Amino acid sequence: MINSLFLINPSGEIFLEKHWKSVVSRSVCDYFLEAKEKALEPEDVPPVIHTPHHYLISIYRDKLFFLSVIQTEVPPLFVIEFLHRVAEMIQDYFGECSETVVKDHMVMVYELLEEMLDNGFPLATESNVLKEMIRPPTILRSVVNTLTGTSNVGDTLPTGQLSTIPWRRAGVRYTNNEAYFDVVEEIDAILDQSGTTVFAEIQGVVEACVKLSGMPDLTLSFMNPRLLDDVSFHPCVRYKLWESERVLSFIPPDGNFTLMTYHVNAQNLVAIPVYVKQSISFFECGSDGRLDVTVGPKQTMGKTVEGVMVTVHLPKTILSINLTATQGSYTYDNGTKLLVWDIGKLNPQKLPNLRGSLSLQAGAPKPEENPSLNIDLKIQQLAISGLKVNRLDMFGEKYKPFKGVKYITKAGKFQVRT
């Protein structure tokens, strides 16, 4: 299936290659690099490229290109999904996924890749299984290893690999048994000039951090599961029980994982936590324009809106800007024409405002369209859909775990058209 993998940095340098079948010359990447040159943004590179003898499927993630070489028919998503797993694995092992990290742990990454695929077909992709085979680096462990001569490589087959629950390793022991769940909801919205909602929906995800000894069997129930319209689960969740009783019953993997993602029923009206008053205008005659943006809280359910940030891609013809913000600060990159206004906390008494003048390049025509504003925000301790976790029960183990649930609402793709 997957023949080779190349990791390529944004400037086009190939800094890691791994082949699972016969070696494919790295010159095959030239087709990709050519396509990359053509694209304006790295995101615009087509994910699937057809070359005379190979098919190149690539993802762009964390400022890196993961490029895989395919020789025969295979579902493209199979490859894309796998490449993302590789990126997640690197993130999971080393804390971040970047060129430096990969270069620093070249051998370990290579060993991991070797374990993940056999002859191009996934062999072990569960993080719990991989971590038993090749232990992630910690300072303590590297010290111990140098002193005792032990290695980072496990010599027995991870139990998960054989069991029906490959995601959990055996013999987990903790002194503090704890299970935390973060309910994170994101609002995707498009608002039009007048502030009316063109489109809005809520997507949520339940992230879990479970550190429990032994083989706990957890049941998580919601106060109002009928809010959930469409869900997808980590393989550990028993689907039948969800279907019949709307509870999440599962034996969790050890550590951090995404338990479920969901989509909130479309009928429910989405509360939009902020409103944006904006006017961006360019004068017909002079090479001049004005910008005036105010952000205020709207439906916040009594919580404070934090981390508010407004990002604007100004038109290419802008020469310079001269703005003042009543709260927070703004940065402007004249190269990319990117204006970022970092507001911070919203104070309902004193609404933050950004205003000033924009000057256009001499002779440039008035821009056709006003740029749209992308809003970022965060509300702690609130799931905007109203979803609430009812209770968490544990079976199968005797001890009493510490349990915690956190709610947070964020802006997803939140766009205001102007």
Partner 1 sequence: MLSMSTNNLSYNDQGGSDSAVEVGQETTPTSSNAGAGFGLFSTNFKKNDDLKEMLESNKDSLKLDAMKRIIALIAKGKNASELFPAVVKNVASKNIELKKLVYVYLVRYAEEQQDLALLSISTFQRALKDPNQLIRASALRVLSSIRVPIIVPIMMLAIKEAASDMSPYVRKTSAHAIQKLYSLDPDQKEHLIEVIDKLLKDKSTLVAGSVVMAFEEVCPDRIDLIHKNYRKLCNLLVDVEEWGQVVIITMLTRYARTQFTSPWKEDGLFDENSETAFYESDEKKTKNGDEKKSYVMDPDHRLLLRNTKPLLQSRNTAVVVSVAQLYWHLAPKHEVGVITKSLVRLLRSHREVQYVVLQNIATMSIQRKGMFEPYMKSFYVRSTDATHIKSLKLEILTSLANEANISTILREFQTYVKSQDKQFAAGTIQAIGRCATNISEVTDTCLQGLVLLLSNRDETVVAESVVVIKKLLQTQPTQHSDIIKHMAKLFDNIAVPMARASILWLMGEYCERVPQIAPDVLRKMAKSFTSEEDIVKLQTVNLAAKLYLTNSKQTKLLTQYILNLGKYDQNYDIRDRTRFIRQLIVPNEKSGALGKYARRILLAPKPAPVLESTYKDRDRYQLGTLSHTINTKASGYLELSDWPAVAPDQSVRNVEVIEPVKEWAPSLGKTGKSKLSKSSDDKFYSDSGEEEEKGSGSSSSDDSSSSSSEESSSEAESDEEKSSEESDKSSSQSEKSSSESDSEQKKTTKKPPQKKTVKPTAKDSDSDENGNVAKETSSSSAEETSSGSESGSDADSHSGTEHKKKTKSKAKPKVSGPAFVPEKSHDLLHRMTGKGLSAQYQFPRQPCLYQPTMVSVQISLTNTTDHPLEQIHIGDRSPTGLNMHCFNTIECLLPEASVTVSLGVDFNDSTQAANFQLCTKEDQFSVSIQPAVGELFLPATMTEQDFRKEQGKLLGMNESSATITMAAENTTRQPISRQVATVANLGVVLSGQDNIHRFAGKTASSGAVVLVTVELRESSAALITINTEKSVMGPMLLRDLKSALARA
Q: Name residues contacting partner 1, limited to 23-42 (CB under 8 A).
A: 23-27, 39-41
Q: Pick the binder of partner 1 from 175, 176, 244, 331 (CB under 8 A).
A: 244
Which residue is it, tokens 């940065």?
Answer: 331
Helix (H) or strand (E) holding 155: none
106 binds partner 1 (CB under 8 A): yes
16 binds partner 1 (CB under 8 A): yes
Among 250, 330, 335, 268, which residue's Cα sits nearest to residue 293? 330
The span from the CA of 46 to the CA of 281, in Å, is: 35
CB of residue 166 to partner 1, shortest distance in Å: 6
Q: Across the strands, what pairs with 357?
A: 290, 322
CB of residue 408 to partner 1, shortest distance in Å: 17
The span from the CA of 269 to the CA of 303, in Å, is: 19
173 binds partner 1 (CB under 8 A): no
Under rule CB under 8 A, how many of the chain's residues touch partner 1?
A: 116
Query: How many beta carbons lie within 10 A of that of residue 398, not counting itself?
Result: 7
The span from the CA of 250 to the CA of 252, in Å, is: 6
CB of residue 388 to partner 1, shortest distance in Å: 11
Q: Which of residues 191-230 bind partner 1 (CB under 8 A)?
A: 192, 198-199, 201, 203, 215, 217, 223, 225-226, 229-230
Q: Which of residues 297-336 bind partner 1 (CB under 8 A)?
A: 313, 315-316
Strands (E), 223-352: 228-233, 247-250, 255-264, 274-282, 288-297, 306-313, 318-325, 329-333, 338-344
CB of residue 304 to partner 1, shortest distance in Å: 27
CA distances from 27 to 23, 30, 31, 199, 341 (A): 11, 6, 8, 45, 43
The span from the CA of 337 to the CA of 10, in Å, is: 20
Q: Pick the binder of partner 1 from 34, 63, 96, 119 (CB under 8 A).
A: 119
Binding-site string for partner 1 from residue 374 to residue 413, where x marks contact by CB under 8 A and - marks none: x---------------x----------------------x
Alpha helix (H) ranges present in 51-183?
76-94, 99-104, 106-116, 127-133, 139-148, 159-162
Return the exposure string of 92-122: e unless at least 16 CB atoms fall within 10 Å of the residue's CB, then b. Answer: bbbeebbbebbeebeebbebbbebbbeebee
Q: Which of residues 53-82 bind partner 1 (CB under 8 A)?
A: 55, 57-61, 70-78, 80-82
Instruction: Compare residues 175 and 244 and give the one whose CB is closer to partner 1.
Output: 244
CB of residue 392 to partner 1, shortest distance in Å: 15
CB of residue 308 to partner 1, shortest distance in Å: 18
Q: Across the strands, what pairs with 292?
A: 279, 355
Instruction: Compare residues 125 and 213 and give the one whose CB is closer to partner 1.
Output: 125
Q: Pick the binder of partner 1 from 11, 37, 43, 324 (CB under 8 A).
A: 43
245 binds partner 1 (CB under 8 A): yes
Instruction: Compare residues 55 and 341 and give the one whose CB is closer to partner 1.
Output: 55
Instruction: Compare residues 223 and 348 and give the one whose CB is closer to partner 1.
Output: 223
